[in-house]
Chains A and B, each alone.
Chain A
Amino acid sequence: MGSLIHIQKFLQLTIINLLVIRKPYMNPYMAGVILGVVLLAAMFLSGRGLGASGGLKYCVVSIVGAVDADHVAQSPYYSKYFEDSGKPLKNWLVFEILGMVVGGFISGALSGRLGFKVEKPAHVSNRRRLLFAFLGGILFVYGAQLARGCTSGAALSGMAVLSVAGFVTMIAIFGSAYLFAWFFRKNWI
């Protein structure tokens, strides 16, 4: 009986330790090594890099296809995504971003970082933070469609295969962000 109570206590403490106590982030160079190994695995297994904006695009294409099939059939942009299987969601990138949500959740759970929250400096209102998050999302993914990939698919994965496109996109993203940083500084500092 006594040892059972001990085991129960031990499990309780372990769960509390895992899920509730907030742990520091991983050393950035170590996290970079893990990310690099994951990217290498994508290259070695599937012959491709990582991506994020592409998966969002396939979701949107699929939604538009479900809502307005005529529009999709007439548009040269949408129709190409329905040519192969007719199911844009049956795509490597869509499954990868589903995995990302699971992987991020596991990491957050093990590090005590789960919780609903709008993250912002104290002097910024929720409304302002969410408005800028929305506008930033529109611009980022619009730009990612134009550049054929975002920070993951164009910049990081593109650099890993030494492509000019990867280096140019990386410099354009970060160069532009530094230029615009001055205008939006009050949102952050």
Chain B
Amino acid sequence: MGPILIHSDASTWINLLTGFLIGIGFGFALEQAGFSSSRKLAGMFYGYDTTVLKVFFTAAIVAMIGSQLLKFFGLIDMDLVFVNHYYPYAAITGGVIMGAGFVMGGFCPGTGISAFSIGKMDALVFLIGGFVGAFLFAETFPLIQKLYMAGYKGPVKLSESLGVSDGVFIFLVIIVALVMFWLAEKAEVKFKRPDITSEL
């Protein structure tokens, strides 16, 4: 029963090897999607390429449905799967800073690693900036600690706070995603930039 490595008390090295293998799949999927191209990613914010939205929501929905099916058939104990802890102020402030970094740098950390892996030098410089960012956070931590911890709500699920079952909630996410996919396809026509997309 899953999560297999938590249930079986696997050795540290087996767990690390699993991380490495998962990483290979992760890096492969990101590169195949075209996330190794900053101009393709930036298309999301100017409308000419909405691959980011399509890949992101398809992946989230597949994982949501998959985990529900595994749970339904008794194959996974979802109580042992990490649920992100909600610190509202840190999540929003951090998210806003990330958004600015996204549109300036053209990457997020995962896509930066993906682009670096095929030789993109702008991605290497982005990742070096990323190291500096992590260093600055560590050094300024005493100053920002209050914001970092403020308003802690615990590992809350959105389905719980809306008072619906996980299944109903996932169904709603799928509907919203389908509407967004439809809008994304429209946007790609309306904001099309064949001069850019032909070079990607």
- The chain A residues found within 8 Å of chain B, CB to CB, are 25-26, 28-29, 31-50, 52-53, 56-57, 59-61, 63-64, 75-78, 85, 90-108, 111, 113-121, 129-130, 132-181, 184-185, 187-189
Contacts and interface: CB of A to CB of B under 8 A. Distances in A.
Contact of A45 (B4, B51, B120, B132): B4
17 contacts: A34-B29, A35-B33, A40-B70, A56-B131, A99-B20, A100-B110, A121-B39, A133-B126, A137-B126, A141-B131, A143-B100, A151-B98, A152-B110, A164-B86, A167-B158, A178-B45, A188-B45
Given A38-B26, A139-B104, A162-B158, A103 B117 contact: yes
Given A99-B24, A156-B60, A147 B91 contact: yes
B12 A177 contact: no
Given A133-B125, A140-B101, 14 more contacts: A26-B33, A33-B58, A40-B70, A103-B28, A136-B104, A137-B126, A138-B101, A140-B129, A152-B110, A153-B84, A161-B82, A180-B99, A185-B46, A189-B193
Contact of A148 (B44, B91, B107): B91
Given A103-B25, A166-B84, A45 B18 contact: yes
A176 B108 CA distance: 14
Nearest first, the 8 A-B pairs at minimum CB distance are A136-B105, A99-B23, A172-B95, A137-B129, A176-B99, A32-B58, A36-B62, A147-B94
Interface residues of B, number: 129
Which secondary structure dominates chain B's binding surface? Answer: helix
Nearest to B45: A181
Contacts of B48: 189
Nearest to B135: A60
Given A119-B38, A120-B122, A34 B32 contact: yes
Interface string B105-140: 111111111111111111101111111111111100
A181 B102 CA distance: 9
B183 interface: no
B95 A173 contact: yes
B175 interface: no
Contact of A133 (B75, B107, B193): B107
A91 to B, nearest CB: 8
B64 interface: yes
Given A32-B57, A93-B19, A46 B109 contact: no
Nearest to A25: B34
A99 B27 CA distance: 7
Contact of B136 (A95, A121, A142): A142
A137 B28 contact: no
A63 B132 CA distance: 12
B21 interface: yes
A181 B107 CA distance: 13
B147 interface: yes
B20 to A, nearest CB: 4
B189 interface: no
B3 A148 contact: no
A176 B23 contact: no
Contacts of B106: 119, 132-133, 136, 187-188
Given A36-B61, A158-B84, A181-B103, A137 B127 contact: yes
Nearest to B133: A141
A169 B76 contact: no
A47 B80 contact: yes
